[in-house]
Structure 1
Amino acid sequence: MNISTDRWTPWLLSLLRIIAALLFWEHGLMKLFHFPAAQPQAPDPLSLMLLVAAVMETVLGFLLVIGLFTRASAFMCSGLMAFAYFIAHAPRSFWPALNGGDDAVLFCFIFLFLAAAGGGILSVDSVLAKRRGSMTNFR
């Protein structure tokens, strides 16, 4: 039996977007609303830089969860994670496993991929593209 991966690609792309976005969104919610708990080691009150990052994580994370403005949102999230890595993690050590930056690196490159690939079939972008008769943002 030959299973074509092309058939599953848009669905798996959506699954990657949704799971990564939920994890990312959680960081913003933890900083802003202490939900599901307070962000470990985050100062209270947040500095202006952390407040801006938390708002971006919350708003852009939600947009990515539903798949609205996926490419632009993912591109901004990728940049935010690159900035976070070089500001907060890289000064501690060269190695991400030692500087606590594994998450930032993975988020950065997952979001960069999503900025190029789009949100997949289970996204608001896909629904809007179908309504416009264009399938370019679908995949």
Structure 2
Amino acid sequence: MTMRIIPERYLPHVQGLLRIATALLFLQHGTAKLFGYPHVAMFDKMNLLSALGAAGVLELVGGALLLVGLFTRPVAFILSGEMAVAYFGFHALEAFWPIHNKGELAALYCFVFLFFSAAGPGKFALDRE
């Protein structure tokens, strides 16, 4: 017999909370890049028509859609790809291990978004599955 801390019937609720928390954290990357809030110095002179600008748009729009749970599976799949590109296209070029190349967050976001693309939004979402 397996002992569960959270009863199985509440797993969709926890999944929904994970989606909301992840979206709120991810959304900050988009607002920092596009609106300068919260302020991150490396984004001060960012061009909207650059790779970082495109990433900011994906993070803002994708983060907002995930927050409300709308088009969760395709949006999460796209964001997972964005984070894979961020990791392998930028972080992994610096060093092999994520702890050395500061890519842990990109790798973690990649796999969390991949989870939502496969599992769906959970509870508290506008998507009805």
Q: TM-score, normalised by structure 1?
A: 0.84
AA aligned to 2:45 is D
In structure 2, what is the equivalent of residue 55 of structure 1?
57
Q: Structure 2 unaligned runs (5+)?
A: none
Rounded Cα–Cα distance in structure 2 between residues aligned with 1:4 and 1:48: 44
In structure 1, what is the equivalent of residue 100 of structure 2?
98
More deviation, 73-82/3-12: 3-12
Residue pair 2:29, 2:59 contacting (<8 A) in 1 also: yes
In structure 1, what is the equivalent of residue 13 of structure 2?
11
Q: Structure 1 unaligned runs (5+)?
A: 130-136
Query: Is 2:52 the partner of 1:32?
Result: no
Query: After the TM superposition, which segments of 4 or more aligned residues of structure 1 sit over 6 Å from their partners?
Result: none
AA aligned to 1:8 is Y
Deviations 1:74-123 (A, max 9, x none): 00000000000011100000010010100000000000000011111110
SS in 2 for 1:93: coil
Q: Cα distance, 1:4 vs. partner?
A: 6.1
Q: Cα distance, 1:7 vs. partner?
A: 1.2
In structure 1, what is the equivalent of residue 88 of structure 2?
86
Residue pair 2:86, 2:106 contacting (<8 A) in 1 also: yes
AA aligned to 1:42 is F
Rounded Cα–Cα distance in structure 2 between residues aligned with 1:81 and 1:62: 16
Q: TM-score, normalised by structure 2?
A: 0.91
Rounded Cα–Cα distance in structure 2 between residues aligned with 1:82 and 1:117: 19
Q: Number of aligned pairs?
A: 126
Percent of aligned pairs sharing the same letter: 46
Residue 121 (structure 1) aligned to one of 118, 123, 128: 123
